[in-house]
Structure 1
Amino acid sequence: MTGFKIASLLAIASLALLPEAALAAGDAMQKSRVLEDEAYRDCLAQIRKDPEEGFAQAQVWQATGGGLPAAHCAALALVELKHYGDAADRLEKLLPEAEKHAPHLTVAILDQAANAWLLAERPVRARELLDIAVKAAPDQPDILIDRAVALGALQQDAAARADLDRALSLDPTRAEAYALRASARRHLRDAAGAMEDVETALAIEPRLPEALLERGILKFDKGDRKGARADLIQVRLIAPDSPSAVTAGKYIERMDVKGER
């Protein structure tokens, strides 16, 4: 039995804080006394416009006493530049300073570091950090969902489903969590439950590529090639550059080239 497909899981990681949502998290962190100054806001804005220049700006700022805000901005710039391992390492190294000067930020930084490790294809380390984060904040759906991503990448589907059950009990409006749970249920051979979750996800967000992908795979597995093709083509039209589109393309190829009908 295989675990979650990492590509499709990471595509859903708007639930994760990285990459785009990391900047939003940084915006929220501006409310902290540690990360509230104008230089930090300027650094985040520069990352959005030009990550390379933003990283250079953050490095100079850090060298001249920018402290935690400068180091955090530099790490987020590396995420935008797709240097995920380096970004994750930098974020982890911020934790002692955050614990000392801004303990209310440690869970967010743990979560960001974990998601950077996921993007670097290091799910074991991601899971370790998320275990700490969940222990510190057991009622935060985002963190539970992120740990489910790590667990899925480690092929621990039953544990992933348990985290998603908990997350959805806390916030039943999370379409991406239903899509993730559909994937977990599919791998646990609960096709009926997986389809139920997919339909719930699509009722909340009708064009969610990951939910359409899951529905296409479920239809493919049932032998409904026409229905599968329609959903898989939709994934490629809605999110042509996404990992979900890559996975959809592989299933279409299986039908068209390899003759799996």
Structure 2
Amino acid sequence: MRVPLRPVLAGAAVVLLLAAAAGGLWFTQGDPAPEPVPEAAEESLPLPPEPPRVADSPEYEECLGKLRDDAQGALSFAEAWEGQGGGDGARHCSALATLALGDPQRAATRLEALAARTPGTAARAAIFGQAGQAWTVAGQPSRAYGAFTLALAITPNDVELLVDRAIAAAALGRFADALADADRAIAQDSSVAEPWVFRAAALRRLERPQEALRDIERALSLDPGNPEALLERGILRQLAGDEAGARADWESVIAASPDSAAADLAQQNLALNAAGPVRR
């Protein structure tokens, strides 16, 4: 069975980094956007649906079971269990609870340390991938890139890891590297929309808008309501002078996914579009 890699918790950060990969909002075409600064967490961050297993015990399952509804309880359980010899299972649950409680930097450090000592290729790569996602949420794409590279050294053709590293590369302004990873991801599986979206973002920053639009249309053919793809197509349409088309795409994002980070960015673009050339 394949070990899941992508934490749900990074969804908002991925969208923000897509904006950075695209050069910020549509009106920003200069230097790469600054790295996003994570805000203090007011609520628990969501977690991976099935964290990779590093232990096989009732305590481990009980601790992981607490993560969804009682992250603080999971952390307390993990710390007590570790003090009683819980080992890697306790350390993994503790790191995930720390992440859920809004401290991604500390969680990333713990996950990297755990991955370094975890036997088995799938679990080791998965935990390095989780560390990379945590560094992404912490707004440290350089550390994220390093963690994803370690994971890819173990599983070099993993599509999700390639996309994750492409996002980190784009946040660092390394758009050619982002494009290379997106190319590899698509070569492995061309049926998933996400790699096409991020390749389009990289192509646009490399001043290849026609190719970017082609990729976005492919992404939307695979997933017609994909909010990140609609956000990106709106940016491309705006740059091509199609303000009505851009507005339609951004309004679609807001209507379909009103509580998403993509909708927030779409709303910002609409507001700036309405403000006119003086604000651009």
Q: For residue 227 of structure 2, what is the amino acid of its counterpart?
A: P
Q: Under a length normalisation based on structure 1, what TM-score does the superposition of the two structures give?
A: 0.85
* Residue 70 (structure 1) aligned with residue 77 (structure 2): no
Q: Under a length normalisation based on structure 2, what TM-score does the superposition of the two structures give?
A: 0.80
Structure 1, residues 57-84: CA drift from partner, whole Å, max 9, x if none? 2222222211111111111122222211
Aligned partner of 2:248 among 230, 233, 241: 230
Equivalent residue, structure 1, for 2:146: 128
User: The residue matched to 1:22 in structure 2 has which SS?
Assistant: coil
- What's the CA shift for 1:228? 0.8
Q: For residue 216 of structure 1, what is the amino acid of its counterpart?
A: G
- Mapping 1:1-261, distance limit 5 Å: 8=15, 20=46, 22-24=48-50, 26=51, 29-30=52-53, 34-99=54-119, 102=120, 104-258=122-276
Are the equivalent residues in 1 in contact too, given 2:149–2:165 (CA < 8 A)?
yes
Q: For residue 239 of structure 1, what is the amino acid of its counterpart?
A: S
The change in CA–CA distance for 1:176 and 1:10 in structure 2 (over 3 A counts) is same
Structure 1, unmatched stretches of 5+, are 13-18
Are the equivalent residues in 2 in contact too, given 1:10–1:119 (CA < 8 A)?
no
Distance, in Å, in 1 between the alignment partners of 2:71 and 2:17 is 21
Distance, in Å, in 1 between the alignment partners of 2:17 and 2:46 is 12
Are the equivalent residues in 1 in contact too, given 2:112–2:147 (CA < 8 A)?
no
Give every structure 1 segment of 4 or more consecutive aligned residues whose post-TM-superposition deviation is greater than 3 Å. Answer: 9-12, 258-261
Are the equivalent residues in 1 in contact too, given 2:17–2:170 (CA < 8 A)?
no
Structure 1, residues 153-194: CA drift from partner, whole Å, max 9, x if none? 101111111111111111111111111111111111111111
Distance, in Å, in 2 between the alignment partners of 1:103 and 1:60 is 29
Are the equivalent residues in 2 in contact too, given 1:236–1:245 (CA < 8 A)?
yes
CA RMSD of aligned residues (A): 2.3
Structure 1, residues 213-240: CA drift from partner, whole Å, max 9, x if none? 0011111111111111111112122222
User: The residue matched to 1:207 in structure 2 has which SS?
Assistant: coil
Distance, in Å, in 2 between the alignment partners of 1:76 and 1:209 is 27
Are the equivalent residues in 2 in contact too, given 1:9–1:180 (CA < 8 A)?
no
Structure 2, unmatched stretches of 5+, are 1-11, 20-44
User: The residue matched to 2:77 in structure 1 has which SS?
Assistant: helix
Length, aligned pairs only: 243
Distance, in Å, in 1 between the alignment partners of 2:122 and 2:128 is 11
Distance, in Å, in 2 between the alignment partners of 1:53 and 1:172 is 41
